[in-house]
A and B are shown apart, each in its own frame.
Chain A
Amino acid sequence: MKPAAFDYVRAESIEEALDVLRQEGADAHILAGGQSLVPMLNMRLAKPRIVIDIMHLPGLKRIETGGGMIRVGAAVRQRELERQADLGTQQPLLAAALPWIGHAQTRNRGTVCGSVAHADPSAELPLVLVALGGEIELRSRRRSRRVAAATFFAGMMSTDRKDDELVEAVRFPMARSGAGYAFREIGRRHGDFAIVACAAVVDAQRAQLAVGGVADRPVARQLPLPGDPALEDALDAFAWDLDARDDLHATATYRRQLVRQLGRQTLEEAARCRA
């Protein structure tokens, strides 16, 4: 478990990081908190030629609120967001989901944008981003662009990010008045990858449920409001459409049943939490 040789670039500016990405493309990999990349390096699952450390760039370390958004820069650690004052009122879904990410020790190192860029189908932050309809800010030497979460996540550890692009920030919509939010997850142990995770947003007109850990990416869907008798069939259809698979820890049948039950509970909790 020793990594293959790679060059380490400690970027002194965003432009430097982007230059290296442009020159090296897929052979370069951004190192942020390292909670996924470093084990992959050690196991030699990933062998990038260049690792670009962006954690020293002050421009990426900011959490900003404004315009109805919480904008989290690429060098912000998960724990920093978790400890942000008023996060529970700014975006209760984010506040509820963050403690489910790994352990306090991994959150002290892992970054918000790193988790989004890694796009593990069980990860909480991509799920929250999709549930809220958030956006990803991508930047390269060529251009800057924003991508909606729903189109950013392309599949298992695959995203819309081009090889020369840096995930510069992610944008979580702030809580809307009249909307309730809830997050629930079932895993094997404290801190494990979710077998099923659910994030719900419910207001007077609409209920949205997003599910992680089942499909190859987080998936959100509009569903009937809790209390509507049509909800049960809609949840059942949603559970089937996620194309659950068996793995070592759970069967597809089990996952579908959790989507039905946990999904309903999460929606009901969100409805109860409507401000």
Chain B
Amino acid sequence: MAAHGDDLKVTQGVKDWVGRSIPRFEDAALLTGRGHYLDDLGVPPGTLEAAILRSPHAHAEIEAIDCTAAKAADGVFAVVTGADVKALTSSLVVGVKAGIECWPIATDRVRYVGEPVAIVVASDRYRAEDALDLIEVRYRALPAVVDPLAAAAPDAPVLHPGANGNVIGERVFRYGDPEGAFAAAAHRVRVDVRYPRNSCTPIETYGVVAEYDPAEGAYDVLANFQGPFSLHPVMARALKVPGNRFRLRTPRDSGGSFGVKQAIFPYIVLIAVAARIAARPVKWIEDRLEHLAGSVSAANRVTTLEAAVDSDGRIAALAWDQLEDCGAHLRAPEPATLYRMHGNLTGAYDIRHVKVHNRIVLTNKTPTGLNRGFGGPQVYYPLERLVQRIAIELNLDPLEVIRRNLVPAEAMPYRTATGALLDSGDFAGTLEAAVAEGQLAALQARRDAARTAGKHYGIGFAAVVEPSVSNMGYITTPLTPEERRRAGPKNGAQSTATVSLDPLGAVSVQVASAPQGQGHRTVLAQVIADALGLKPQDVRVTTEVDTAKDGWSIASGNYSSRFAPAVAGAAQIAALQLRERLARIAAAQLNVPAAEIVFADGRVATRSNPDNATPFSRIAAAGHWAPGTIAAEIGQTIRETVFWTPPQLTAPNEADEINSSLCHGFIFDFCGVEIDPMSGAVHLDRYVTMHDCGRILHPAMVAGQINGGFAHALGAALYEEYAYAADGSFLSGTFADYLVPTTMEVPEPIILHRESPSPFTPLGAKGVGEGNCMSTPVCIANAIADALGLAEIDLPATPAKLAAHIHPSETARPGRPQPVARPGKGERVLFGEGRAQVNAPPDQVWRMLLDPATLEAVVPSAHGIEKIFDTYFRADVTLGIGPVKGRYRADIELSDLDPLRAVTLSGSAEGALGFGRGSGRVKLEPNSGDGTIVTYRYEAAIGGKVASVGGRLLDGAAKLIIGQFFSALAAHAGGGKQRSGVIGRLLRLLRRKA
């Protein structure tokens, strides 16, 4: 990295590289297109490409899969279905005891839109996708459950027949005396919250290159997996090989992960099996449609939180009721989202009595997994909304309520009621500093002025503890103490780092962390340079992980903000241990005691006589060139691997107390928002975010983490939602509907700092990358609630939602009937009605409706209409709007026949672009003259790809097509004017049948 050396202004005698914003070693490659991303790397000769057929249904039995045509297609090497995967693997481990399995591909039924159903392996991705269209799957639709409360109801359709309902985990916890505290409380204040589904959607999607060596019985996989490597044994067990026959490697660079690339692991299993069946290496790169619909999501949660409060606003007790929606399968390490914050359920507050009722429910949505903030937003949203409600209901200043409840500085380290050990910090002092430096008083004056001018302006606050370095033991909290006793203790956060010296004395560092853009190589170089008296550019860091060669543990990987506090600390320990031995070699050469040796400026010198020195490289190389001269008690000085786990991370105890994380940063945010009275859009006027993340290793990267987390959080607050219709159709299938804020929408927050080093980490650092995902959504929501005087507000706070509180209520249109009742929020069911004038008497129209020849005539693209019986037809039809065309298999049924007067047309259609079903009542009335007036009312549901990617246009398209059917009918009967060409599109009518 010589290029960097020239850029670095190296000052002789600088004591510490850590704490300075040196240029990142990663950037030259990344900014000049030389990043080593998975998709850019070479693959073994003969590598094939995979494409995945995914379910268009939220819930359906798979009655049959016919792969004959796909297997025969040009360039296809294998078609893999659930049965094939089941034959070669076992179910992925499920984290609760509920009698359910977790397969990476549908085996007998599909449970969410986007679930893998089959994999085609072909010579290239184009041919693989061509073959996907040739796979015939026959589904039998089942009722879907989307809402977590509905899914938890006793009579809900059950996703996994082996389970006793959809609630697959339930635990009640008590800490202190919550009942007594509530009984004695002057006030009870409560919030009800539905936290939505969203995700951090990295630019780079999942990618896997897998190979199977039949001679060795071993899998070799390259994937942009981010960890935790506790999933390595999960994958090895699923693939039915010992861990040493499942080699997993990660590339150098990542196009972002934010937790999301944890959930690639089911795909690693799938592609590994596909490679085994195809007997060739197989590569799969997830595309954006797959990623949004089928990869992973943060968990949505329904929470009721109640506080026992005294008249001063002091909170004596909390009662949590959390219903966690983990989607269709419980994938490891879930239900961790629900338990990652378990030690922190009291946030930044000193609250001694806590009651918790936790339930985990499965629904017909994408399975959940790691996501920036993991569990934090879901906890802090109700907690900080509650604090605002306490202030309002007790007529107190919200800031004062926060102040009165913060954990006092003198209590540090502080054990929370639920078991976390808050390591350090002066929360109250940090808050006051933020109020002063962030100029809260000026913001309040702005609010007052804006309100005087009639504007909707509000201020919100949030105080948050940001946990980092997860205790691997917390994932056993959902088990009862007795279940844990049987399973054996799980705890710790084993971090790994290796420092090596080569024959020229150059230093290399390797960590098992899989960076996602956090600048591991730069920070590690700073840390090691400080330890060994070198310059950062003297240190070469590699971050590719190879489970066959590297030191790693189940805690390895890049998650829970563990790099700076744990991984960089482990690297420092390795370097210091090596330095200690090198000092003894140098001491012998320089004839001084080892305690006299200092490492500085690339030299090893004696403290009292700096001229008595030798180059670092000479001492460092000694282990290679002259091991015989090194005293036996010093040992080798070539490579030092350190495993570090903090003693504070113990397993959950008998009282279910769990120190779920090692470090706890503190964040205090406040912001001012103004709501546009016409559009309801939120303008973020000023956002102040104060962080205490312990010792700062690289200020610019800390700022980068805060800005990035803030942008994600702003998306969660105002824009982003993985939305599902009531029938389980996925509605956010492209970035036109899943709205990620761009640079135009993200203002720059004002970032402030305090530094309270953690006493528990080698460098004093704590995590910082996730905190704003925890604090910012609720801070913005509190400001909006303040602006509009709302007691309840759920995210995302979209303009249409907020405008409903501002706009005058709409009166029905004067002189017209009430509009047709609208379906509920998010319903994908379409309703409509219309009429057509036909120049033929009702009896003739009636005969036409019952005649398949009519269908053939008005749907020119119908091929081979088949009359199954008198009132039941089947046809292949080509349907479309504009250029969007697809071929569908349609079933049409006539029922409720009221001859010459009315008939119900029901139908369904299924094709590569999706499916639809619906029904409509058609009525015939003679008009004056010899004609007929045909009126129709229909309801229709559409799912699959068209619903996922075309939601914005769907209603209009359906209306168009159904209307076209009846104008075509009218034209066929000799009435109305019909433009040529339009009938051809008349298409979907058949699937939704008007």
Also in contact, A45 and B981, with CB within 8 A (given A156-B960, A158-B882, A258-B678): no
Q: Quick check: B678 and A1 within 8 Å, CB to CB?
A: no
The residues in B between 879 and 904 inclusive whose CB is less than 8 angstroms from any CB of A are 881-886
Other CB < 8 Å A-B pairs besides A157-B883, A254-B800, A257-B808, 18 of them?
A1-B287, A2-B126, A2-B129, A4-B129, A120-B953, A156-B957, A188-B798, A188-B799, A189-B744, A193-B952, A216-B956, A236-B813, A246-B822, A248-B951, A249-B739, A249-B798, A250-B798, A265-B678
Q: CA A250 – CA B884 in complex, angstroms? A: 24
A261: nearest chain-B partner, CB-CB: B678
Also in contact, A47 and B885, with CB within 8 A (given A216-B956, A254-B804, A262-B678): yes
A255: nearest chain-B partner, CB-CB: B800
Q: CA A188 – CA B952 in complex, angstroms? A: 13
Query: Which one of B101-109, B729-737, B850-858 contacts A?
Result: B729-737
Q: List 26 A-B contacts (CB under 8 A).
A: A1-B287, A3-B126, A44-B129, A44-B133, A44-B912, A45-B883, A121-B956, A157-B883, A158-B882, A186-B681, A188-B739, A188-B798, A189-B719, A189-B741, A190-B745, A192-B739, A216-B956, A216-B960, A245-B956, A247-B951, A247-B954, A248-B732, A249-B739, A249-B800, A250-B798, A253-B807
Q: Quick check: B955 and A247 within 8 Å, CB to CB?
A: yes
The residues in B between 912 and 933 inclusive whose CB is less than 8 angstroms from any CB of A are 912-913
A118 near B: Cβ within 8 Å? yes
B816: nearest chain-A partner, CB-CB: A240
Q: CA A76 – CA B957 in complex, angstroms? A: 29
Also in contact, A157 and B955, with CB within 8 A (given A189-B745, A248-B731): no
Prevailing SS type, chain A contact patch? loop
With a CB–CB cut-off of 8 A, which chain B residues contact A257? Answer: 803, 807-808, 810
With a CB–CB cut-off of 8 A, which chain A residues contact B955? Answer: 245-247
Q: CA A254 – CA B822 in complex, angstroms? A: 14
The residues in B between 246 and 294 inclusive whose CB is less than 8 angstroms from any CB of A are 287-289
Q: Quick check: B881 and A43 within 8 Å, CB to CB?
A: no
The residues in A between 102 and 159 inclusive whose CB is less than 8 angstroms from any CB of B are 118-122, 154-158
Please pick, from A158, A216, A247, A261, the residue contacting B985 in the complex, using a CB distance under 8 A: A158
Q: CA A191 – CA B946 in complex, angstroms? A: 22
With a CB–CB cut-off of 8 A, which chain B residues contact A48? Answer: 883
Most buried by A among B719, B884, B950, B982: B884
Q: Quick check: B822 and A4 within 8 Å, CB to CB?
A: no
Binary contact readout A65-88 vs B (1 if CB under 8 angstroms, 0 otherwise): 000000000000000000000000
- List of 8 A-B pairs having minimum Cβ-Cβ separation, nearest first: A157-B882, A190-B744, A1-B287, A46-B883, A254-B800, A250-B800, A156-B956, A216-B956
With a CB–CB cut-off of 8 A, which chain B residues contact A190? Answer: 742, 744-745
B679 near A: Cβ within 8 Å? yes
A29 near B: Cβ within 8 Å? yes
A117: nearest chain-B partner, CB-CB: B882
B984 near A: Cβ within 8 Å? yes
Please pick, from A37, A156, A248, the residue contacting B881 in the complex, using a CB distance under 8 A: A156
B298 near A: Cβ within 8 Å? no
A4: nearest chain-B partner, CB-CB: B130
Q: Quick check: B810 and A216 within 8 Å, CB to CB?
A: no
B361 near A: Cβ within 8 Å? no
With a CB–CB cut-off of 8 A, which chain B residues contact A206? Answer: none
Q: Quick check: B981 and A162 within 8 Å, CB to CB?
A: yes
Q: CA A188 – CA B744 in complex, angstroms? A: 12
Q: CA A46 – CA B946 in complex, angstroms? A: 11
With a CB–CB cut-off of 8 A, which chain B residues contact A195? Answer: 799-800
A23 near B: Cβ within 8 Å? no
With a CB–CB cut-off of 8 A, which chain A residues contact B810? Answer: 253, 256-257
B678: nearest chain-A partner, CB-CB: A261
Please pick, from A4, A45, A160, A254, the residue contacting B807 in the complex, using a CB distance under 8 A: A254
Q: CA A36 – CA B803 in complex, angstroms? A: 31
Please pick, from B133, B951, B960, the residue contacting A158 in the complex, using a CB distance under 8 A: B960
Q: Quick check: A5 and B130 within 8 Å, CB to CB?
A: yes
Also in contact, A40 and B982, with CB within 8 A (given A45-B949, A245-B955): no
The residues in B between 810 and 848 inclusive whose CB is less than 8 angstroms from any CB of A are 810, 813, 816, 822
Also in contact, A45 and B960, with CB within 8 A (given A5-B126, A37-B883, A249-B798): no
A222 near B: Cβ within 8 Å? no
B490 near A: Cβ within 8 Å? no
Interface size class of B (residues with CB under 8 A): 35 or more
How many A-B residue pairs have C-beta atoms within 8 angstroms? Tell me.
Answer: 144
B562 near A: Cβ within 8 Å? no
A251 near B: Cβ within 8 Å? yes
The residues in A between 235 and 275 inclusive whose CB is less than 8 angstroms from any CB of B are 236, 240, 245-254, 256-258, 261-262, 265
- B962 CB to nearest A CB, Å: 12
- B253 CB to nearest A CB, Å: 22
Q: Quick check: A189 and B739 within 8 Å, CB to CB?
A: yes
- A94 CB to nearest B CB, Å: 23
Binary contact readout B147-165 vs A (1 if CB under 8 angstroms, 0 otherwise): 0000000000000000000
With a CB–CB cut-off of 8 A, which chain A residues contact B48? Answer: none
With a CB–CB cut-off of 8 A, which chain A residues contact B732? Answer: 248
With a CB–CB cut-off of 8 A, which chain B residues contact A216? Answer: 956, 959-960
Binary contact readout B702-733 vs A (1 if CB under 8 angstroms, 0 otherwise): 00000000000000000100010000000110
A26 near B: Cβ within 8 Å? yes
Q: Quick check: A251 and B959 within 8 Å, CB to CB?
A: no
B71 near A: Cβ within 8 Å? no
A19 near B: Cβ within 8 Å? no
A163 near B: Cβ within 8 Å? yes
- A14 CB to nearest B CB, Å: 21
- A190 CB to nearest B CB, Å: 4
Q: Quick check: B885 and A46 within 8 Å, CB to CB?
A: yes
B57 near A: Cβ within 8 Å? no
B125 near A: Cβ within 8 Å? yes
Q: CA A120 – CA B957 in complex, angstroms? A: 11
Q: Quick check: A250 and B799 within 8 Å, CB to CB?
A: yes
With a CB–CB cut-off of 8 A, which chain A residues contact B913? Answer: 44-45
- A50 CB to nearest B CB, Å: 12
B945 near A: Cβ within 8 Å? yes
B946: nearest chain-A partner, CB-CB: A45
Also in contact, A193 and B736, with CB within 8 A (given A46-B884, A248-B723): yes
